[in-house]
Chain A
Amino acid sequence: MTQDLEVFRAETRAWLEANCPPSMRTPMTGEDDAVWGGRNYEFKNPEAKLWLERMGAKGWTAPTWPAEYGGGGLSADENRVLQSELKKIGARPPLFSFGLWMLGPVLLEYANEEQKKEHLPKIVRGEIRWCQGYSEPGAGSDLAGLQTKCEDKGDHWLINGQKVWTSYANYADWCFCLVRTDTSVKHEGISFVLIDMTTPGVETRPIKLISGSSPFCETFFTDVKIPKGNMVGRLNGGWEIAKRLLQYERTNISGFGSNTRVDVVDLAKKHVGLEDGALEDRDLRARIAAHKMTERAYALSVQRAQEEAKAGGNVSHMASMFKVAGATLNIDRCELMVEAAGNRALGWSGEGFTPDDLATTRGWLRSKGNSIEGGTTEINLNVVAKRVLGLRDTQ
């Protein structure tokens, strides 16, 4: 077994050596370097396209998904080897994708054969970009209060309503969406459907955030007709899928959209300065040290959860805990970066500030969303209290 893994490691290393283009082995310089794929995606760098095509063809964008659906078909051990080899050469992720992180895992679990064959391979190869239609103007933290209507019209479903906080809906090809199929009940009246964004009646409008960026949209559905085969799971069985998907989402959101390229310690050394090897501002130094400890504690805990999952333990209930801890950690990091950089992190645009300075400012503002998106910190603490600790509202 170990011997097989070593053979796999050697083959993987050789393949990566031959196939990972040089510029894909350099650190990403910002959010712009992330490759999201999709029908209309414009690659800034031809090598990024090549890297995605090669990794997609191997199925290594989704290493542990079954090969029959385009995945890599790797075991958990083989995937660990692959990830360590990727890390060793500093390879960039070939694809950033809600399809990979969120939809794929639930399709594998809940979709029928036809749906899996249709959608999974395109996710693996980055051909279709997905967005998530969950929140609505009247259904934020109380997600199950959603009202977007989905009516059975015999040979098709008819959808009317509005979604909000749909990440990158303006770039997405398809949307996985929660809709109301029964108005007489709450959680049991929700279904999970897949909508082609080119269908007549679908409209998107970007939302501008305090950071100046627009990663989210409002999405409108007006008399949108979708085929009957686009419902995943059973009619009115969408809430279970929705919750499952949120677990995947929560394990993937934490430091989204912030400037992770610059280390807060380096920033503080540069702008605050050292005295006898210690940051001159001792109060800031102690707070950065505490933060670095929490960062390490978080990383070790993720590693521990992975080890426990591998040993067969059920750690899915820990997703909410990691979401809270990860979001808090990133928000703290961004605050410390702004503090460490002083007035260099108070710019907005122009030549007076370096791109890194501006990224620190924008990343700080963007991080404010980390404790809101994917379930607020408060909602996730509710989940931890109820599902993990067994604290109930009434007993």
Chain B
Amino acid sequence: MTFTLNDDARMLKDSARDFFREQAPVTRLRKQRDAKQNGRDPELWAEISALGFAGVIIPEEYGGAGLGYVALGAVLEEAGRTLVASPLHSSALAGASALLLAGTDAQKAEWLPKIASGEVIATIAIDEGAHHAPAKSKIKFEGGKLSGEKKYVADGHIADLFIVAAADALFLVKADTAGVTRRELVTADSRGAADISFAGVAAEKMNGGADIVDAILDRARIGLAAEMVGAASEAFEITSEYLKTRKQFGQVIGGFQALQHRAAKLFTDLELTRSCVLAALDALDRNANNVAEYASLAKARASETVHLATNEMVQLHGGIGMTDVHDAGLYLKRARVTEALYGGASFHRDRYASLLGF
């Protein structure tokens, strides 16, 4: 196991950091929101794709860079820092992982190059109710036709391709197939999503059963946890900087012990979570046999940490923290969405306990 990035991943992280800071700072999300784009920013996605970020985990034979999950996690972390609204997670991570794990040779050959180039946006359609419960899917597949409903599909409103999970099977559905109806959701994090119904639509069955659904979800969870650690780190650093500059009672408020201790505890929590996420990404690249444990560990802890970091960001900024003009609210809203996506802390605590045999 290693926590250290290799040269390729390090270079990728640096270039992602520079690009997102310059081209997609939080002000870009704010502009998208104010223009009611609901997460649509095709120009940004084209630039991100041109840098190769959409194909990080896709093998070179399919037009990707074949660098693996640690490298993609580094990019996602940087994207999380500035709340970049793009289908990087849904398509370059979750969609690509689904095809890599469950795609037939023909499906891989058809879709992976397009996902790698950013030409096609893929996403995984998992949940059917208000909560994450992949095992309870009611998706039906009869005579080559797929029926059922999916809720809050990440980037579902802009995706070209759905990987639809049943309880024990996976299907490929093109978004423009007859019988697919999507209702665009305007979401709290200004990123958008969609509820999607499938009324006897033509679908291609993929390989694998429930274990593959789980394996795909674990990749999505770990990658999302990397994005969450990025958002939490940035929220913490902005807050810490504020503590060093804001003055009350004739001194910087960071001099007050009550606030110092909160900052120190948050920092400790963040560092512990960072170790889990790095270990989980590394476990994917090592093909470790306990990826499921790492995934639930990383997603549960990242959920708690980003929750704490963004709530502290609001509180420690005081009045300005609850105004729309400050970025704290944007971090808080995105945090909540990522917490819920693919299972929150309580889902993953429950799963972790089961995996550990209690």
Interface bits A381-392 vs B (CB < 8 Å: 1, else 0): 110111011111
Give the contacting residue for B358; candidates A274, A298, A308, A325; CB below 8 A: A274
Interface size (A, Cβ < 8 Å)?
42
Q: Judge whether B278 and A304 touch: CB under 8 Å.
A: yes
- Chain A residues near B356: list those with CB within 8 A: 265, 289, 292
Select the stretch in A204-212, A222-230, A277-285 that faces chain B.
Answer: A277-285
Give the contacting residue for A325; candidates B1, B257, B268, B353; CB below 8 A: B268
- Chain B residues near A386: list those with CB within 8 A: 260
Distance between Cα atoms of A311 and B264 in the complex (Å) = 25
Chief secondary structure at chain A's binding surface: helix
- Chain A residues near B287: list those with CB within 8 A: none
Give the contacting residue for A303; candidates B1, B252, B301, B350; CB below 8 A: B1
Distance between Cα atoms of A184 and B249 in the complex (Å) = 32
Q: Judge whether B268 and A321 touch: CB under 8 Å.
A: yes
A139 at the interface (CB under 8 A from B): no
Q: Judge whether A290 and B261 touch: CB under 8 Å.
A: no
Smallest CB-CB separation from B349: which chain A residue? Answer: A289
Interface centre among B251, B259, B349 (most CB of A within 10 A): B349
Distance between Cα atoms of A55 and B301 in the complex (Å) = 41
Interface bits B214-228 vs A (CB < 8 Å: 1, else 0): 000000000000000
Shortest CB-to-CB span from B56 to chain A, Å, is 23
Give the contacting residue for B275; candidates A292, A304, A384; CB below 8 A: A304
Give the contacting residue for A293; candidates B255, B259, B261, B301; CB below 8 A: B301
Smallest CB-CB separation from A313: which chain B residue? Answer: B4
Shortest CB-to-CB span from B135 to chain A, Å, is 15
- Chain B residues near A365: list those with CB within 8 A: none
Interface bits A241-284 vs B (CB < 8 Å: 1, else 0): 00000000000000000000000010011000010011100000
| Given A301-B272, A301-B275, A324-B268: A391 and B4 interface contact (C-beta under 8 Å) | no
A393 at the interface (CB under 8 A from B): yes
Distance between Cα atoms of A277 and B268 in the complex (Å) = 33
- Chain B residues near A278: list those with CB within 8 A: 353-354, 358
Distance between Cα atoms of A21 and B271 in the complex (Å) = 40
Q: Judge whether B3 and A269 touch: CB under 8 Å.
A: no
Q: Judge whether A297 and B276 touch: CB under 8 Å.
A: yes
B313 at the interface (CB under 8 A from A): no
Q: Judge whether B297 and A296 touch: CB under 8 Å.
A: yes
Q: Judge whether A293 and B3 touch: CB under 8 Å.
A: no
Q: Judge whether A293 and B252 touch: CB under 8 Å.
A: no
Distance between Cα atoms of A243 and B252 in the complex (Å) = 27
| Given A269-B358, A288-B358, A307-B2: A297 and B350 interface contact (C-beta under 8 Å) | no
- Chain A residues near B318: list those with CB within 8 A: none
Shortest CB-to-CB span from B267 to chain A, Å, is 6
Shortest CB-to-CB span from B155 to chain A, Å, is 29
Distance between Cα atoms of A324 and B271 in the complex (Å) = 13
Q: Judge whether A391 and B263 touch: CB under 8 Å.
A: yes
- Chain B residues near A274: list those with CB within 8 A: 358
Q: Judge whether B353 and A395 touch: CB under 8 Å.
A: no
Q: Judge whether A277 and B279 touch: CB under 8 Å.
A: no
Within 8 A of A (CB), among B247-287: 251-252, 254-255, 257, 259-261, 263-265, 267-268, 271-273, 275-276, 278-279
B315 at the interface (CB under 8 A from A): no
Q: Judge whether B252 and A395 touch: CB under 8 Å.
A: yes
A286 at the interface (CB under 8 A from B): yes
Distance between Cα atoms of A386 and B297 in the complex (Å) = 30
B352 at the interface (CB under 8 A from A): yes
- Chain A residues near B275: list those with CB within 8 A: 297, 300-301, 303-304
- Chain A residues near B257: list those with CB within 8 A: 382, 385
B143 at the interface (CB under 8 A from A): no
Interface bits B226-255 vs A (CB < 8 Å: 1, else 0): 000000000000001001100000011011
Q: Judge whether A286 and B350 touch: CB under 8 Å.
A: yes
- Chain B residues near A31: list those with CB within 8 A: none
Shortest CB-to-CB span from B14 to chain A, Å, is 17
Give the contacting residue for A308; candidates B3, B243, B297; CB below 8 A: B3
Q: Judge whether A297 and B301 touch: CB under 8 Å.
A: yes
Q: Judge whether A279 and B358 touch: CB under 8 Å.
A: yes
Shortest CB-to-CB span from A87 to chain B, Å, is 15
Pairs A–B under 8 Å by Cβ, sample size 8: A278-B353, A285-B353, A289-B350, A293-B297, A307-B2, A324-B264, A385-B257, A385-B264
User: Which 8 pairs across A and B sit closest by C-beta, in order of nearness?
Assistant: A385-B260, A384-B264, A391-B254, A297-B272, A300-B275, A289-B353, A301-B275, A289-B349
A interface residues with partner B (beta carbon < 8 Å): 265, 268-269, 274, 277-279, 285-286, 288-290, 292-294, 296-298, 300-301, 303-304, 307-308, 311, 321, 324-325, 378, 381-382, 384-386, 388-395
Besides A292-B352, A303-B1, A390-B240, 19 more A-B contacts (Cβ < 8 Å) are A268-B358, A279-B353, A286-B350, A297-B273, A298-B272, A300-B3, A301-B272, A304-B278, A307-B3, A381-B260, A381-B265, A382-B260, A382-B264, A384-B267, A386-B260, A388-B264, A389-B260, A391-B243, A394-B252
